[in-house]
Chain A
Amino acid sequence: MGVAIVITSGKGGVGKTTTSANIGTSLALQGKRVCLVDTDIGLRNLDVVMGLENRIIYDLVDVLEGRCKIHQALVKDKRFEDLLYLLPAAQTSDKTAVTPEQMKELINELKQDYDYVIIDCPAGIEHGYRNAVAGADKAIVVTTPEVSAVRDADRIIGLLEKEENVESPKLVINRIRNQLMKNGDMLDVDEIATHLSIELIGIVADDDEVIKASNHGEPIALNPNSKASIAYRNIARRILGESIPLQPLEAETLGVFSKIKKFFGVK
């Protein structure tokens, strides 16, 4: 019996889909069987980020309405040996085509076959959100260091706390821009963590590579050299129960002198 984790944020554009794709990929890299479920019906894009768009034949609504079996709709990621699958959202239907009860049943069925079911939640707190949360056991709230995103995250945490089936949510702070944060022009990681007072499970720096990778349909987590990739991999390992300290945000723009010092191992 696997675990279903919903990735949500309230506000749109903070990186829910990117986070879902990368946490899913990272968990698969750790050898877990993972199924990604896109619940953003009508505005699907997890398939695009994963680079699986062309292989979609059936979707979530087809499964729920009995037009196909679950395994027919699941899209296999060829980069992994039978570890990573995607259940794409329907593009032609509406969010109201699905009810929370149906979603719960579907997620429970997927949990039988997979170690982790990662549910990508649509923005907002309406029907789509309720569908996404219905079958989840755990939740990860994604926010960026912006006041508006933090406010919405606060709201969504309040709603998640009311859900009986969901454990207390974990926090991912995305798109951190170190320079701004240092100057005090952006909310600080500690400030956000104390404000929301839920467990911080990862911080991800703002990285151009993430956008580049997404556009190529390749989750950044597959590229071991990027900082963001390491951050996502660390989140996955924390989900698996390892205790890994948060990586420091600095050391991005080291001067020549300090690079030399580092090379010689001088502190």
Chain B
Amino acid sequence: MRLFTYRNAENIHNTYYFELRFGIEKLFALFLRGEHLDMKKIQNVMIKGTKDGLIFQLDDSCSYEELKRELDYKLSESSRSREDHLITVKIQVGNRYLTNEQEEELKELIRQKKNLVIDSISSNVITKEEAAKLKEETEIVSIARIIRSGQVLHVAGDLLLVGDVNPGGTVIAGGNIFIMGALKGIAHAGFYGNKKAIVAASVMKPSQIRIGDCITRAPDNYQEDEKREMECAYINDKNQITVDRLQVLMHLRPNITRLEGGQ
């Protein structure tokens, strides 16, 4: 019992001694590199470990150069590559905007350390252009107009058309297309490849419907008595465009509902 305690104490002593020595060496090294002034701010890079890998939280108030230097320093310091398997890294840069080059640079910096792989870089800020593009892609554009033969209407997000699409006219949307009139021309939803997009119309008599890269053509003759009212078109499991009643959408495409909360 006694012997045991003694040994333990010696261990502790050793550790203390080691850490002290290491700390002095580190200080000395920093002093030599003229970085002792930065010592207070050494916490610009925070590394957290989770079960999915590491999270690097990079401070957003220091300069980018400073950040890079510190990241480089911290990584070289802790590069004991005992473990062979790769560790994924998520980088959070807070309210700092990184240009593409800067992002590449950071990735390169971290990739150099043997067993680290970058999973994602997330930032709280985006440029106005990106924001405008994002808004365009997600908003519903409403237009009251008749799309006549030879006219093409193109929107980036969802389209709400209050009017008809006459034969020979075309409407194109990056998202869904809702037509509060007769669709007799061509409608192309999910123009950028979104296969979940739908086309809905009060009167569905299109000459063609395109969703993503699927195309369907109208039957050669519409029956005179066919009403074709309140219908929608979507891509089914067999990768074919199907036309059905509007009401099926709430099961097939619940994401069309944008309302959160409410009654």
A positions within 8 Å CB-CB of B: 151-152, 154-155, 157-159, 161, 184, 195-197
- Contact check, B168 vs A197: say whether CB atoms are below 8 A apart: no
A161 and B169 CA atoms in complex are apart in Å by: 15
- Contact check, A154 vs B164: say whether CB atoms are below 8 A apart: no
Specify which of B164, B168, B224 is in contact with A151 (CB 8 Å cutoff). B168
Interface size class of B (residues with CB under 8 A): 10 to 19
- Contact check, B149 vs A195: say whether CB atoms are below 8 A apart: no
Specify which of B146, B150, B169, B224 is in contact with A197 (CB 8 Å cutoff). B146
- Contact check, A152 vs B149: say whether CB atoms are below 8 A apart: yes
- Contact check, B167 vs A151: say whether CB atoms are below 8 A apart: yes
Q: Which residues of A contact B112 (CB under 8 A)?
A: none
* A155-B149 contact given A195-B166, A197-B164, CB 8 Å threshold: yes
Q: Which residues of B contact A152 (CB under 8 A)?
A: 149
Asked if B148 is at the interface (CB within 8 A of a chain A CB), the reply is: yes
Q: Closest B-chain residue to A10, C-beta based? A: B149
Query: Using a Cβ cutoff of 8 Å, how many contacts connect chains A and B?
Result: 29
- Given contact pairs A158-B169, A195-B164, enumerate 19 new A-B contacts (beta carbons under 8 Å): A151-B149, A151-B167, A151-B168, A152-B149, A154-B148, A154-B166, A154-B167, A154-B168, A155-B148, A155-B149, A155-B150, A155-B168, A158-B150, A161-B148, A184-B224, A195-B166, A196-B166, A197-B146, A197-B164
Q: Which residues of A contact B194 (CB under 8 A)?
A: none
Closest approach, in angstroms, between the C-beta of A171 and any C-beta of chain B? 13
Asked if B79 is at the interface (CB within 8 A of a chain A CB), the reply is: no
Q: Which residues of A contact B151 (CB under 8 A)?
A: 158
Q: Which residues of B contact A161 (CB under 8 A)?
A: 148
Q: Closest B-chain residue to A197, C-beta based? A: B146
Q: Closest A-chain residue to B185, C-beta based? A: A154
Closest approach, in angstroms, between the C-beta of B202 and any C-beta of chain A? 13
Q: Which residues of B contact A158 (CB under 8 A)?
A: 146, 148-151, 169
Q: Closest A-chain residue to B150, C-beta based? A: A155
Closest approach, in angstroms, between the C-beta of B152 and any C-beta of chain A? 10
Tell me which residues from 148 to 179 in chain B have a Cβ below 8 Å from any Cβ of chain A: 148-151, 164, 166-169
Q: Closest B-chain residue to A160, C-beta based? A: B148
Q: Which residues of A contact B149 (CB under 8 A)?
A: 151-152, 154-155, 158
A101 and B220 CA atoms in complex are apart in Å by: 45
